[in-house]
A = this chain, B = another copy of it.
Amino acid sequence: MAFDPSKVRSDFPILAQAVNGKPLVYLDNAATTQKPLAVLDASRRYYEEINANIHRGTHHLARAATAAHEAARDRVARHLNASESAEVIFTSGATDSINLVAAILTLVPGDEVLVSALEHHSNIVPWQMLCERSGASLKVIPCHEDGTLDQDAFRALLSERTRLTAFTWISNAFGTVNPVREMCAAAKAAGSLVLVDAAQAIPHVRIDVRELDADFLVFSGHKVYAPTGIGVLWGRRSVLDALPPWRGGGEMIKEVTFERSTYNVLPFKYEAGTPNIEGAIALAAALDYIEGIGLEAIAAHEQHLIRRAAEGLSALTDLRLFGPDDRVGALSFGIHGVHHYDLGTLIDQMGVAVRTGHHCCQPLMARFGVTGTTRASFALYNTEAEVDTLIAAVEKALVMLR
């Protein structure tokens, strides 16, 4: 195994608790991750030492807060290998980032937006709203029985009408890893803009936006050990410079008169109002934290756990695993004759936290003819013993339910 999770568990005080008298086994990491002390301390230090409103201040605290906020932007840019920090726009989360892009694009009837069958509602509904507003149409890349996308169908759907292609790097429901580089290349060859939803990728894989060659990439801080309320839109400068602003307000303007306002440059053009300064700083601390352990070591550890879980669970009668064997992060399953909600309720009584339901992927659930699944998802602090507890809890619940 790549690294020893027992060494890092003490960084996460929440994990030490008992639920219903049993030790908490937190396997709902695809929904949100827990936060290490380094991140909590960074937030707190910000407020205890340098909190001030940023950018326009002349005083000492305003200078310190501005410098820390911009250093956080640099840190994110470095993590993504962006060409410049100004391409990193802070938002309130992945959903906010996707809505930003959907709001600033102008489409006309006949234009097409292409999304995949694996998408989270946050990467579907904004495009539906854009299509409704503009008369463009939404096309869907179908997926195979094993939860991977049909690449032939994808290529057949691409045309000169495709204005924007949006797909997730890793499926939050099934853990499917899409061949994002190839998909970006194909979409761009067809002349489409490309948005990659990295909400699930950010804690598990190395992201290099220059190598990826997408136009937009989004993620949320809370899924990568940072707080809620902070997210990122990375956008290619040449694309964003040509697009209009979205939210209006302080900071995003150059000059305001009642007759006419002119807008600021990137990244401020898209950051109206007081940003989540603390959140940005804590996100930078979270990236420092995972890089301190090593993203590759974390990924290897998580892969080991997810394989162990898949093996153990697939031995149970009538259990069906969704998604391909080389899934990352999330493991989804269903059990014939057992409702996922009942299973989730019972294993919660045993201290095991998993997510049940549609995982904000109703169209994907419909495609597989289910109303939901049970999903265990993994983070750097999970252990082999926790995987074994999960399997034993599911077995015990099945005895009660059948």
Contact = CB atoms under 8 A, between A and B. Distances in A.
A59 interface: yes
Given A128-B248, A355-B56, A275 B228 contact: yes
Interface stretch (A73-81, A119-127, A206-214, A323-331): A119-127
Interface in A220-274: 220, 222, 227-230, 245-253, 255-258, 260-261, 272-274
Nearest to A25: B59
B363 A227 contact: no
A101 to B, nearest CB: 12
Contact of A363 (B126, B129, B257): B257
A317 interface: no
Contact of A344 (B48, B58, B360): B58
Contacts of A129: 245, 248
Given A125-B248, A125-B249, A257-B366, A52 B35 contact: no
Interface string A17-57: 10110001010100110110000100110011111110011
A178 B252 CA distance: 27
Contact of A275 (B43, B229, B249): B229
A140 interface: yes
Given A126-B249, A248-B99, A273-B122, A362 B257 contact: yes
A352 to B, nearest CB: 8
A296 B17 CA distance: 41
Interface residues of A, number: 91
A341 interface: yes
A93 B274 contact: yes
A348 interface: yes
A62 interface: yes
A222 to B, nearest CB: 6
21 contacts: A19-B59, A24-B60, A24-B61, A26-B61, A28-B52, A28-B57, A58-B344, A58-B348, A58-B356, A60-B353, A92-B92, A92-B96, A99-B272, A121-B250, A121-B253, A121-B256, A124-B256, A125-B256, A222-B274, A228-B274, A229-B279
Interface of A: 13-14, 17, 19-20, 24, 26, 28, 31-32, 34-35, 40, 43-44, 47-53, 56-62, 92-96, 98-99, 102, 120-122, 124-126, 128-129, 138, 140, 220, 222, 227-230, 245-253, 255-258, 260-261, 272-279, 341, 344-345, 348, 351-357, 360, 362-363, 366
